[in-house]
């Protein structure tokens, strides 16, 4: 019996997602649990697994299409099932027609609007004959309202002319460009002003991917709305490096310095539990376990999967989980749940030789720890100059959730743990 495959809510509160790729072809059978489609959210690509043995009788949505949660994506049937009149079956399932381009009258070309002088409101187009029904996702409608635009001003490129997120982004950008005052004419000169560069004049334009747009929007919002402050400490790590060497002699998974830093962050949260919080509009949310996001620069872009219960996890298990996340990030198989939760992120550029940097907090976390490269430096101990290996740590903190003195206590606990590394395996 034919059934509909609908777009799932792959992220809490999501209203739409992109069908990135079909992993099976029409009429090819698949088994329960097999990945059948790749769905792209703002944070990651997620494989959609089949709930039962079936085959795709007809794909209703093509790859690269933004689909509203709950909307049909395909008609499924039993293996070997033949349907004489699929359109009649679709009607019986409540889908009057496949989400293909609508008939010509509904998809007619819309003439380019005349430029509107800056400061004048853009009038809503008057309905021709009868009002046009506008299909738009709740998120797109909200963004248009915030930008002072109406759905009638935006041509939709989704199924049946639905207005989706990319249509809204283009409309807002065009409105801002129209509202910008024209540049003042240049003073007369014998030299001709250089023309606006075009693709091919020594550069390429690479379109923004959905994850890159999401990262840009999220971090811009963080820097604009979260009151950051920063603390810097150095930790002597000769004992830590010696412990790492001993552990790697017996560990099945190679342990990195960053794996030990993740474990030290968890112990610092245990020692100063008031820092294991995130800010919400109504209250501070304090967590019982220590979940830590680790920044991974994958082949598909930057992701921050979350390690769970790190305070109860051995260094070798932390290392194994980080490597699993790195592989899944490259393959695009991270799940949305892997990217949610936690109160702090850890990002490390030490492998590139970066000695020190400050990072932007990844909402809704209340802090992010930036780890630089370990370097041998001269130090004075008991009046004598010697050489020691030190690690530079910079903590970016959300001042709404964590005050300066509390953050300083947390940093002291972290440094103490790194300099007395047997705590990591106790």
pLDDT band at 395 (very low <50, low <70, confident <90, very high): very high
pLDDT at residue 106 tops 60: no
Q: State the pLDDT at residue 177.
A: 67
Cα dihedral sign, 315-370-308-319: negative
* C-alpha distance from residue 5 to each of 62, 132, 138, 160, 206 (Å): 14, 29, 21, 18, 33
Question: Is 60 exceeded by the pLDDT of residue 254?
Answer: yes
Q: Give residue 317's pLDDT.
A: 96
Q: What pLDDT was estimated at residue 38?
A: 84
pLDDT value, residue 118: 43
- Secondary structure (H, E, C), 100-123: CCCCCCCCCCCCCCCCCCCCCCCC
- 178 pLDDT more than 80: no
Q: Which residues neighbour 63 within 8 Å (Cβ) at sequence distance 6 or greater?
A: 19, 20, 21, 22
In the predicted model, what is the mean pLDDT of residues 273-282? 95
- Residue 365 pLDDT exceeds 50: yes
* Helix residue spans in 61-209 (DSSP H): 86-92, 138-146, 165-179
C-alpha 221/C-alpha 138 separation (Å) is: 20
Residues 64-81 have a mean pLDDT of: 84
Q: Mean pLDDT lowest for which of 61-65, 94-98, 298-302, 334-338?
A: 94-98
35-49, 153-167, 174-188, range with greatest mean pLDDT? 35-49
- Percent of the chain beyond pLDDT 70? 79
Mean pLDDT, residues 392-419 taken together: 97
CATH of domain 138-179: 4.10.320
Residue 213 has phi, psi (to 5 degrees) of: -60, -40
- Give mean pLDDT, residues 402-416: 97
CA angle 59/138/151 to nearest 5° reads 95
- CA–CA separation, 41 vs 240, rounded Å? 39
Q: Would the pLDDT of 79 be above 60?
A: yes
Across the chain, mean pLDDT equals 82
The confidence score (pLDDT) of residue 180 equals 56
pLDDT of residue 358: 96
Hey, where are the domains in the chain? 3-92, 138-179, 229-425
Q: What is the mean pLDDT of residues 104-112?
A: 42
For the segment 202-207, the average pLDDT, to the nearest whole number, is 84
Q: Averaged over 110-123, what is the pLDDT?
A: 43
The residue-averaged pLDDT of 45-71 equals 85
Tell me if residue 365 is catalytic.
Answer: no
Strand ranges for 349-404 from DSSP E: 367-371, 375-381, 384-398
Q: Which CATH number fits domain 3-92: 3.40.50.720, 2.40.50.100, 3.60.130.10, 1.10.287.10?
A: 2.40.50.100
Set 228, 269, 365, 399: catalytic member: 399
Q: What is the pLDDT of residues 296-326, one digit of tens each?
A: 998 877 889 999 999 999 999 999 999 999 9
Using the predicted structure, report yes or no on whether residue 196 has a pLDDT greater than 60: no
The pLDDT assigned to 407 comes to 97
| 73 against 44, higher pLDDT | 73
- Per-residue pLDDT tens over the stretch 120-137: 434 444 444 444 556 676
pLDDT bracket for residue 100 (50, 70, 90):
very low
Q: Answer yes or no: is pLDDT of 111 > 80.
A: no
Which CATH architecture does the domain made up of 229-425 adopt? 2-Layer Sandwich (3.30)
Q: Give the per-residue pLDDT at 215.
A: 79
More confident residue, 422 or 145: 422
- Give the pLDDT confidence score for residue 143 in this predicted structure: 77
Please tell me the distance from the alpha carbon of residue 415 to that of residue 264, in angstroms, as a whole number. 8
> Residue 385: pLDDT above 70?
yes
Low-confidence winner among 48-57, 268-277, 338-347, 399-408 (lowest mean pLDDT): 48-57
Residue 313's closest CA among 287, 290, 296? 290
- Residue 128 confidence (pLDDT): 42
Residue 153 CA to residue 155 CA, distance in Å, equals 7
Per-residue model confidence (pLDDT) at position 122 = 40
Q: What is the pLDDT of residues 10-22, one digit of tens each?
A: 665 567 788 888 9
């Amino acid at each position: 019996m034919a059934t509909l495959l609908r777009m799932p809510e792959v992220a809490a509160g999501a209203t739409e997602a992109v069908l990135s790729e079909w992993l099976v072809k029409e009429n090819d059978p698949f088994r329960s649990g097999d990945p059948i489609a790749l769905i792209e959210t703002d944070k990651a690509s997620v494989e959609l697994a089949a709930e039962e043995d079936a085959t795709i009788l007809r794909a209703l949505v093509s790859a690269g299409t933004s689909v509203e949660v709950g909307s049909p994506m395909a008609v499924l049937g039993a293996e070997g099932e033949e349907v004489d009149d699929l359109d009649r079956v679709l009607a019986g399932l409540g889908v009057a027609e496949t989400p293909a381009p609508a008939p010509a009258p509904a998809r007619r070309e819309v003439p380019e609007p005349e430029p509107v002088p800056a400061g004048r409101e853009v009038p809503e187009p008057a309905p021709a004959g009868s009002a046009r029904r506008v299909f738009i996702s709740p998120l797109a409608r909200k963004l248009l309202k915030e930008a002072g635009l109406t759905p009638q001003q935006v041509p939709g490129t989704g199924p049946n002319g639905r207005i989706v997120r990319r249509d809204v982004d283009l409309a807002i950008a065009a409105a801002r460009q129209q509202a910008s005052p024209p540049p003042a004419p240049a003073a007369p000169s014998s030299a001709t002003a250089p023309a606006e560069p075009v693709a091919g004049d020594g550069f390429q334009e690479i379109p923004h991917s959905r994850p890159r747009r999401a990262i840009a929007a999220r971090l811009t919002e963080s820097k604009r709305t979260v009151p950051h402050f920063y603390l810097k400490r150095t930790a002597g790590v000769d004992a830590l490096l010696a412990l790492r060497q001993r552990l790697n002699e017996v560990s099945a998974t190679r342990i990195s310095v960053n794996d030990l830093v993740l474990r030290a962050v968890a112990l610092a949260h245990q020692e100063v539990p008031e820092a294991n919080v995130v800010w919400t509009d109504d209250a501070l949310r304090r967590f019982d376990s220590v979940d830590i996001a680790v920044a991974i620069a994958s082949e598909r872009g930057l992701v921050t999967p979350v390690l769970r219960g790190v305070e109860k996890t051995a260094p070798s298990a932390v290392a194994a989980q980080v490597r699993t996340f790195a592989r899944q990030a490259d393959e695009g198989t991270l799940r949305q749940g892997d990217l949610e939760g936690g109160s702090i992120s850890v990002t490390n550029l030490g492998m590139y030789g970066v000695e020190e940097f400050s990072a932007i907090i990844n909402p809704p976390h209340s802090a992010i720890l930036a780890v630089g490269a370990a370097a041998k430096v001269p130090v004075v101990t008991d009046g004598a100059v010697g050489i020691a290996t030190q690690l530079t740590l910079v903590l970016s903190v959300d001042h709404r959730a964590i005050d300066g003195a509390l953050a300083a206590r947390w940093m002291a606990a972290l440094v103490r743990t790194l300099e007395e590394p047997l705590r990591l395996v106790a």
